[in-house]
Each structure stands twice: as C-alpha cells, then as structure tokens.
Amino acid sequence: MEDLRAKYIDLIAGASDEATLEDLRVAALGKKGEVSLQMRELGKMSPEDRQVMGPKLNALKDEIGSAIAAKKAALENAALDARLAAEWLDVTLPSRPTRTGTIHPVSQVMDEITAIFADMGFSVAEGPQIETDWYNFDALNIPGHHPARAEMDTFYMARAEGDNRPPHVLRTHTSPVQIRHLEAHGAPCRIIAPDRVYRADYDQTHTPMFHQVEGLAIDKDISMANLKWVLEEFCRTFFEIDEIELRFRASHFPFTEPSAEVDIRCSWEGGTLKLGEGDSWMEILGSGMVHPNVLRNAGVDPEVWQGFAFGIGIDRLAMLKYGIPDLRAFFDSDLRWLRHFGFGAGQVPTRYAG
Ligand code: DAH
C-alpha cells in the first residue's frame, strides 16, 4: 500500500495536463484500477485483517482522489493565469480615431430655414426636379416668347426623334412648387419649398446645380406688409443679428405684381463682410404679391385669394452666414473642405435650438 501511495502521489504531482490526471484516476481508482483491485481483495481477508486494511485502503482512495482534485484545480489556475497574461488589454491606450461625417452647410442651412419658417406656421412642400415647361414657365406667367425664359440658362431634356412636344426641363427655380401645391391643396396655404434647382452657369458664384427656398402664403387678407415682416423676421433669426436691415427695391418678375428684390445692409470694410452695418447693399432674394394669372393657372380664384411669394438662394445664405467664399467648393466633395465647413449632428444655432 505504501508503494501504491508513493507511486500515485508522485505521478499526480508530475502530471502536466488534465488528460494525464484522468488516466491516473482510471489507473488507480477506476473499476480495474490498482486501488480498486486491492479493495476487492478485502472480501478474501479474515475479519481482523479486513478491519485493519479496510480503513487504510479507504484512506488511500480518498488521498489519491483529493490529490487528483487538488492538482486539477492547480492546473486550471495555471491555465487561467497563462491566459490572463497573454490576453491583457491596455485600457489606457487612446481609442482609434473614428471618422465622423459632417452635415453639409447646405443641409444645415436648409434645416435652419425650415425651423425658422416652421415657427411662423409654414410647412414644407416639394415638387419634381424634372419639370414640364408648363409648371416651370407658362403656369408662372412666363409665356414662350418671354425674355425670362432665355435669361434662365435652362437645361432641356432630350425628346425622342420626331417627338415634337416641348421638352421637359431641369427646373430653373423652385417656383413651380407654388403651382403644384396650390393645385393639390388649394388656398389658404403657407408653405416653403427648399430644394435643388438647375441652370447652365458656372463661376465663383454660380454652379449648374444650386438651392433655393420658395415661400408662398395665400389667404384672404395677406398684404405686402406681411411679406415684409416675415422676411425681416426670418433674416434677423437666421443671421442672428438684431440690427439687420432690409431694403425692398421695386423689381419685376412675371409671377408677381408688384415685385420687389430685397437687399441686406452690409459693409465690406477691411475686406470682410459684416451684415447689419455699413453703406453697401447685397441682394438676397426676390419676392412680391402673387400675380392673379398664377393663382388662376393653379385653380385658385384671384377675386377671393391673394398673397405673397418669395425665392431665396440657399447657397448664398450659407456663404453669407458661415463666411464661405467660393460657391463651387460646395459641390466638390473635398473631404478637407467638408470637415472644415461641415457641422456636427448636434450643432444648432442658439437662437432656435429646441
Ligand atoms: N423664381 C425666382 C428666381 O429663380 C425667384 C423668385 C422671385 C421667386 C420672386 C418668387 C418671387 O417666389 O416672388 O429667380
């Protein structure tokens, strides 16, 4: 027994993995294990011998069993220590830079415009970017011979050969949304339509695709005074300048009568543009009282309804507010430009945050 004990305790101490331990357990304590065989011998012994050998064998069985369990636990601990040592993680390392996109100044300004006009009760309307010449021109009181058509640098879509219908156009302004909205919903109405428009033009202040926001308010008692207040309120809030000053300059658009172009007071002193002061004026929008023909073309009775409309260049507003000098860069998709002039998701001008 003493030999058995010494042999197994030694082997268990030297075991280097769980499989070896299991082999040792079977060899000692398994059905045909050496200790088990000894226990079977007990039956053949005299009662006196059995009384001596029985407890000893049991003790040996327990000792080997616990030695195996202890060694197993030690091996598991060692394995865990080895894993912990190998799989460490330095939580003090700076995180890898993740690339965050930015909100394009045009998107930002469209959101700002929408928020300001929403506060004044205007909802957002939409129309297609490929328009018929009816919606883009005729319905807006711009007949075929009208010089405004030629001035617009219109992109015409192609017609199939032999198809002599007038071609569709890429809309040259957001004004056709006026007609589409009135046709669909009638009067009264108070909408803005911010979106893309197209003209064949390209220099520092013109790109073939750009953005406008159309405004339209029709009711029974809307006057030019309402137009003036709405536009002044908009500019004050948008530019975040209380002293903003607008100048309404008589002008002409086929779809309004009377018509006014609106300039904003500014200074160019020292080469930097400042709004709300100085002796210069910069044109920012066109506007007027909606022409009766336009209402009629949209199925609205001009004897009952009247109102104002305006069209503002969104990109121009973005350039003014955020000091962006070249319009063309807006649409170059240059990542350095986008990171510099772009906005974070939570960046909302303080005046109308929330
Ligand atoms: N549609 C005009 C343009 O693109 C802008 C404009 C002027 C819109 C006067 C209007 C308006 O609604 O009343 O140049």
Across the range 80-87, mean pLDDT stands at: 92
**Where does the pLDDT of residue 353 fall: very low under 50, low under 70, confident under 90, or very high at 90 and above?**
low
pTM of the predicted structure, to 2 decimals: 0.74
Quick one: 22 exposed, middle or buried, by C-beta within 10 A (0-12, 13-18, 19+)? middle
| 203 or 130: which leads in pLDDT | 130
Rg (CA), the chain: 43
Could you tell me if 47 and 157 lie in one domain?
A: no
Is residue 20 assigned to a domain? yes
Rounded to the nearest whole angstrom, what is the distance from the C-alpha of residue 139 to the centroid of ligand 1? 14
Cα 285 to ligand 1 centroid, rounded to whole Å: 7
Neighbours of 90 (CB within 10 A): 5
User: Per-residue pLDDT tens for 213-262?
Assistant: 999 999 999 999 999 999 999 999 999 999 999 999 999 999 999 999 99
Could you tell me if 182 and 270 lie in one domain? yes
Place of tokens 């198809």: 163
Domain co-membership, 199 together with 266: yes
Instruction: Answer yes or no: is the C-beta of 102 below 6 A from any ligand 1 atom.
Output: no
Q: Considering only 131-145, 176-190, 289-303, which range has the smallest mean pLDDT?
A: 131-145
Smallest Cα–Cα separation from 141: which of 287, 292, 261, 286? 292
242 C-alpha vs ligand 1 centroid, how far in Å?
A: 26
* CA 110/CA 210 separation, integer angstroms: 12
The residue that leads in pLDDT, 208 or 97, is 208
For residues 148 and 223, state if they share a domain: yes
Give the residue-averaged pLDDT of 266-272: 85
In a domain, 99, yes or no: no
Amino acid identity, position 227? L
- Indicate whether 114 and 249 sit together in one domain: yes
Please report the pLDDT score of residue 43 as a whole number. Answer: 86
Cβ(254) to ligand 1 under 6 A?
A: no
- Give the whole-angstrom CA distance, residue 215 versus residue 120: 12
CB of residue 231 inside a 6 A radius of ligand 1: no
Q: Is the CB of 214 under 6 A from ligand 1?
A: yes
Asked whether 311 lines ligand 1 (CB < 6 A), one says: yes
For the residues 303-314, what does the mean pLDDT come to?
98
Question: 296 and 172: one domain?
Answer: yes
Q: Is 349 part of any domain?
A: no
Is any ligand 1 atom within 6 A of the Cβ of residue 154? no
Do 196 and 165 sit in the same domain of this protein? yes
What pLDDT is stored for residue 87 in this prediction?
A: 92
pLDDT at position 352: 58
Would you state the pLDDT for residue 143? 86
Which DSSP state fits 1?
-
Q: Which residue has the tokens 């309402």?
A: 226
User: What distance in angstroms lies between residue 342's CA and the mean position of ligand 1's atoms?
Assistant: 28
Residue 353 three-state SS: coil
**Token pair of 254 as six digits:** 């086929």
Judged against a pLDDT cut of 90, whether residue 268 lies above it is answered with: no
Quick one: 46 and 109 in the same domain? no
Assess whether pLDDT exceeds 70 at residue 129: yes
What pLDDT does residue 148 have? 73
CB of 310 shorter than 6 A to ligand 1: yes
What per-residue confidence (pLDDT) applies to 146? 80
Give residue 166's pLDDT band: very low, low, confident or very high (50, 70, 90).
confident
127 lines ligand 1 (CB under 6 A): no
DSSP code, position 341: H
Average pLDDT of the residues in 118-145: 95
Q: How many domains does the chain have?
A: 2
Report whether pLDDT(340) > 90.
Answer: yes
214 CA closest ligand 1 atom index: 12
CA of 331 to the centre of ligand 1 (A): 23
Task: Establish whether residue 176 lines the binding site of ligand 1, counting it when its CB lies within 6 angstroms of any ligand atom.
Answer: no
Which one of 79-93, 287-301, 324-338 scores highest in mean pLDDT?
287-301
In a domain, residue 228? The reply is yes
Instruction: Using the mean position of ligand 1's atoms as its centre, give its distance from the Cα of residue 325 in Å.
Output: 24
- Give yes or no: residues 58 and 131 share one domain: no
Q: Is the pLDDT of residue 19 over 80?
A: yes
Q: Are residues 25 and 121 in the same domain?
A: no
Q: Is residue 318 part of a domain?
A: yes
Are residues 126 and 63 part of one domain? no
Whether residue 118 lies inside any domain: the answer is yes
Q: Residue 196: give its domain's CATH number.
A: 3.30.930.10
Ligand 1 centroid to 311 CA: how many Å? 4
Give the separation between CA 142 and CA 245, rounded to whole angstroms: 31
pLDDT of residue 144: 83
Q: Is residue 93 part of a domain?
A: no
Of 12-26, 57-71, 122-136, 145-159, the poorest mean pLDDT is in 145-159
Is residue 308 within 6 Å of ligand 1 at its C-beta? no
Q: Which atom of ligand 1 is nearest the CA belonging to 175? A: 1
Cα gap 45→343, rounded to integer Å: 94
- The mean per-residue pLDDT over the stretch 168-177 comes to 97
Domain that holds residue 66: 2-86
Does 288 sit in the ligand 1 pocket, CB within 6 Å? yes
Q: Are residues 79 and 109 in the same domain?
A: no
**Summary mean pLDDT of the chain:** 92
Is 235 within the bounds of a domain?
A: yes
Q: What is the mean pLDDT of residues 271-294?
A: 93
Please tell me the distance between residue 151's alpha carbon and the centre of ligand 1 in angstroms: 13
Average pLDDT over residues 69-95: 91
DSSP 67-131: HHHHHHHHHHHHHHHHHHHHS---TTSPPPP-PPP-B-HHHHHHHHHHHHHHHTT-EE----SEE
258 C-alpha to center of ligand 1: Å? 12
Structural contact between residues 319 and 197, judged by C-beta atoms closer than 8 angstroms = no
pLDDT at residue 350 is higher than 70 = no
Answer with the one of 42, 59, 86 that is the final residue of a domain.
86
pLDDT given for residue 337 in this prediction: 95
Share of the chain above pLDDT 90, in %: 72
Point out the domain boundary residue: 52, 86, 120.
86
Could you tell me which residue, 346 or 53, shows the higher pLDDT? 53
Phi/psi for 31 (5° steps) reads -50, -40
